[in-house]
Amino acid sequence: MDKYTPHPADTSGIELPAELEALAEDMARNVHEVWAASRIAQGWTKGPRNDELKQTPCLVPYDELDETERDYDRHTSQETLKYILKLGFKISKEQ
């Protein structure tokens, strides 16, 4: 079996503009909501981490997650926004 080596796009040179920081946080919250809805649909419940019993302590509202878990969702959101910018897209809010 071949070992998988991820090669994400290099977004290290992309800075998120300050006006996108709130969007990144909103996206992080939604990332968690999508993940939680998917887990619940798969039969997972809140409890101590146990893959066999389909239990996770993270089935709580975003604001109740510990900072490490929120950072995971933030990182996903920030990297997604950076990738969009790297591809040359502009992100703006309609007034």
- Give me the pLDDT at residue 1, please: 72
Residue whose structure tokens are 């809805």: 37
pLDDT in tens, the chain (95 residues): 789 999 999 999 999 999 899 999 999 999 999 999 999 999 999 999 999 999 999 999 999 999 999 999 999 999 999 999 999 999 988 87
Angle, alpha carbons 16-36-42 (nearest 5°): 140
Q: Which amino acid is at 7?
A: H
46 beta partners: 56
Compute, in degrees rounded to 10, the torsion defined by CA atoms 21, 24, 26, 27.
170
